[in-house]
Every structure is written in structure tokens, then in C-alpha cells.
Amino acid sequence: MESVTGDRESLAFQSQSVVVGAGPAPLFTTQLNVSNSSCSASSSTIEPPKDKLLGGLFSPAFDEASCLSRYQSALFRKSSNHTPSSYLVEKLRSYEVLHKKCGPNTELYNKTIEQLKSNHSMGPMECNYVVWIPSDGLGNRIISITSAFLYALLNNKVLLLYLPEDMGDLFCEPFPETTWVLPSDFPIRNIKWVYSFEKDPNRYGDLLKRKVLRNDMNSRNISGPLPAYLYLHLIHTSDDFDKMFYCKEGQLLLQKFPWLLLRSNQYFAPALFLIPEFEKELSLLFPERTTVFHHLGRYLFHPSNTVWGYITRYYEAYLADAKERLGMQIRTFGQVDLDSHSSYIINCALTGKLLPNIDLKDPVLPTISGVKPKAVLVTSLSSGYFERLRDMYYEHATTTGEVIGVYQPSHEEQQHTEKLSHNMKAFAEIYLLSLSDALITSRFSTFGYVAQGLGGLRPWILVRPNNKNVCLHSVTMEPCFHFPPSHDCNSRRKVAIGSVASYLRHCEDFPNGIKLFY
């Protein structure tokens, strides 16, 4: 995950009153108020808001001041080409009613908590729950929350989040007149030490392995009470028994439990399309399969007022007047040579015609007077990529006469997911990237997945598909499920999961993963 604090010095290079390049800009300050001007979206390239509810995706039942981003975001985005289905809109309103009825501290919630304290279960109750437990960085958390919400939606369960302190003021509440935050007095106390859950006695996969549970259990062959809850271990290290979650028989068993504790760092939504019981419902919810994260991500994740202040101040100061915005999300895993990798990224932008070439022979080519600059927003843990791109357009004229402004909000050198301030600024950068007109992303990076999904953007991925092409323009905006199940549920044999359905393929940036296609 890229983020975000760093240099507080700002470099403003100006030519004919047009910004040529800028350094890490000090917008991420300790100021917490949200300016009234933050919703002006002064750029002439921004369309006037046509529908602040995004086709019914958002409920109108919120106090706008409590979450400015929910309804103001339409001022900063171009209209989406993807409209939520009427069935999805209806389903979301029904879910909001269910969540309000069953949410924390309601009578029905308290009743189910008493059952949980008894350490056994006799079956589903009027209110049934999925409790999400975090794992890894912010990008992983956002895509796994989205998957957990879709699972809850398909099963008429209520989603609650265990939010550690490092996620305390990131998001607004997504459901009116209730909360999705798990109360601090939740009786399963070791939830605070999430890594201990790998050996939880109620881990679903281990219970199957030890034959304490069987997926073919029904009311006639259950001889005694069930465990009070099941723990679903759906992170990248889950084994084949854990992955029985993705089978029809597993889902029939899981429906018997009022409490499911789910820990994941994966976008497992694509695998839900392979479960026969969900197939029809999913086709009604998402006639366009490649819009799952686009719609659910926009519905769930509204920046808190603090984070929205970061976003709007930066946007107005550096991006609002640009004629076009290009986002560059740069994440490296392991050691790379900065010079060669910078050249590779720049080459991707040039060959994709996302940026203009420079003229190395004539340093005094005239710029086009009065034309707004093109803005490049770089997010990276390192400042090196930004500096090379900034210097390139500062020291040389473009062959088109365009002026390029290059900006990086901050750089931290290392990821610090355990810090709330880091995560707040990281989410601000994700959101700023999602406001781009075009996006370059790094392979395997969930940070980029979230930005492309929120923005409805098909990214240029920093992957060489062949000898002719430097990088790859993705076919969809959907995230990749990196570690899907590898066994067929019926035959128990290993299969190429990306070929079992026409709408699933292996990911362009991670061939072992799968993603939703058209």
C-alpha cells in the first residue's frame, strides 16, 4: 500500500502562469475542518452533478453534514457509464432496513449475543451475522470488506466490522440510523488478537478436517448443539478445507450458524458466482458482472469528513484546473532499480499516449499559451519516481506544446498500516487516484484495485503482455482474487478455476488469480 506523509516542501515551477511541476504538496496537514469551498470542484472539465444519489445507489436518508463526501462526491467525478440495476437498488434498501432492525444494541442483536455467550447454537435466528476481521493493508481490507458485504447480502445476514484503532476515522457509516461497527463488548474477546484465530477451535476448515463437521449435515443427522460460531479463514494462506466455503454443500452448512467470523485479505467476490445458490441472484444484482466492486465500493466507502478535507483541499489546490488528470500508482515488491523502473513506467505512459513525448533537440519549443496543463498524480512510498517525471517535463519542452504538472502528495518510504494517520492519508490518495481520467497501476497491488474500481477506470497495468507491448490496458475495472480455490467442488480434482465459467478468467497481473470479465 502506498502512502503518504513525507516532505512538507512544495516546489512550484511556473511558466506563463501555468504550473510545470510540483513537489510533494503539503495538503495533508493537521487541520481537520472541511472548508465550505471544498465542494466547489472548480475545474471546467468536471461535469455538473446529475444525480448525487448515483441512480439510487445511495440512500437519501442521511444528514449531509455528518458525511460530506457521500453527496458531494458527485461534484468531483465524471458521471459513471455504469448504472446500478433496479434490483440492486431495491436490495440495498431492504438490507438497510434489516441492518437497522438487527444492528448493534438492538433487542434482536442482544438476543443473539446471549445465544453466542451460551457457547452453542441450535440453528439460525431472526438476525444472523457476518463479523469481518481485518488482515494486512488498507487496500486488502477494502476489497475484503466489499466481498464480505456481498456475501452478507446474498445470505440475508448483517455485516459488522471489527475496526481496530488504525481504522477509527476512515469511513462514514454506510447504513442510515445504525452502525456497522462491532461493539467493544463483543463477547469473543480474542478478536482483538486477530492472528490467534488461525488456531481458533471453531475454524471451519479444521472442523471439517477433524470430521467434527460435515458439509452434508442437516437437521436429521445433527445429534447435538452446533458451535456458537464458525471462524472462516479466507486469507491467502487458507487451505483446501477452508476453501470448502466456496462449495454448495459448505454454504448449506454455514446457513445454520447465526454467527460467522470472517477474516480475509482477498477479493473473493468472483468465487461467489460459482456457487449455484447465488447464481440467479447475482445475475439480477449485477447484469454487468464487471461492476461488482464499482457499485458496492462506491456504496460502502465514503471518506470521513477529516479524510474528505484532505481530498478536497489537495484537489482544489493542484488538480482542479487541469484539462486532464493521469494517476500513477507505483508499488514495488522487493528491490528494483529506480532508473530502469522509472524509464519503464514513463515508456508505458508514452506508448499508451497518456503523456506527450519531450523534444531533446529544441529546448525552447513554444508552449500553447492559455491552455490548461495536464496533471499527473503520482502515489508511491518513494519520491524517486515523481522526481524523475517532474524533472523530465521541467527540463524539456513537449513535442505537443502541452504543459505537464507533476504532483505527489507525500511519500513515507515504508508502509505503516498500524497507524491511523497513515491510513487516513492512504485512503485520501486512493480516492484522488480514482478521480483521474486515466490510471496506471502496479501489478498485484490492492491499492490500485480500489482506485480503479471507485473511479470506474480500466487501468494500464505495469505488466509486459508480450514483446511488442510495454504495458497492458486491462479489459475490466474489477479487482483480482489472488488466491482462489483450485479444486472442483464436485470431483474434488484440481482445475484451472479461471476456465470453468465464461465470465471468469485469470488475472492479467497475477495469472494464478481470477477476475470477473464480461
DSSP-assigned states of every residue in 401-454 = ---EEEE-----SS--TT-HHHHHHHHHHHHHHHT-SEEEE-TT-HHHHHHHHH
Q: Can you give the pLDDT at residue 299? A: 98
pLDDT at 39: 43
CB atoms within 10 A of CB 102: 23
Q: How far is CA 323 from CA 292, 354, 369, 371, in A?
A: 30, 13, 14, 8
Quick one: pLDDT at residue 371? 77
Residue 126 near residue 113, CB atoms below 8 Å: no
Q: Is the distance from CB of 79 to CB of 47 less than 8 angstroms?
A: yes
Residues of the chain with pLDDT below 50 are 1-24, 26-49, 219-220
pTM for this structure?
Answer: 0.89
How many angstroms separate the CA atoms of 400 and 64, rounded?
44
d(CA 154, CA 390): 48
Q: Are 74 and 52 in contact (CB under 8 A)?
A: yes
Q: What is the number of other CB atoms lying within 10 angstroms of the CB of residue 445?
A: 23
Mapped onto helix, strand or coil, the DSSP state of residue 126 is: coil
Residue 496 burial (C-beta neighbours within 10 Å; 0-12, 13-18, 19+)? exposed
Of 125, 127, 147, the C-alpha closest to 135 is: 147
Q: Quick one: which of 139, 180, 177 has its CA closest to 163?
A: 180
What domains does the chain contain, in order, with CATH numbers?
54-300 (no CATH), 321-465 (3.40.50)
* Nearest-angstrom CA–CA distance, 319 and 435: 10
pLDDT of residue 466: 83
- pLDDT at residue 222, rounded to an integer: 56
- Model pLDDT, residue 335: 83
| Distance of alpha carbon 167 from alpha carbon 162, whole angstroms | 9
Are 407 and 25 within 8 A, CB to CB? yes
How many angstroms from the chain centroid is the CA of residue 497?
Answer: 23
> Residue 214's pLDDT is what?
87
Please report the pLDDT score of residue 14 as a whole number. 28
| C-alpha distances in Å from residue 213, one per residue of 120, 123, 249, 434 | 14, 14, 12, 44
Q: Are 26 and 8 in contact (CB under 8 A)?
A: yes
Coil, strand or helix at 64:
helix
- Residue 186's nearest CA partner among 127, 120, 107, 105 is 105
DSSP 181: B
User: According to the model, what pLDDT value does residue 366 have?
Assistant: 65
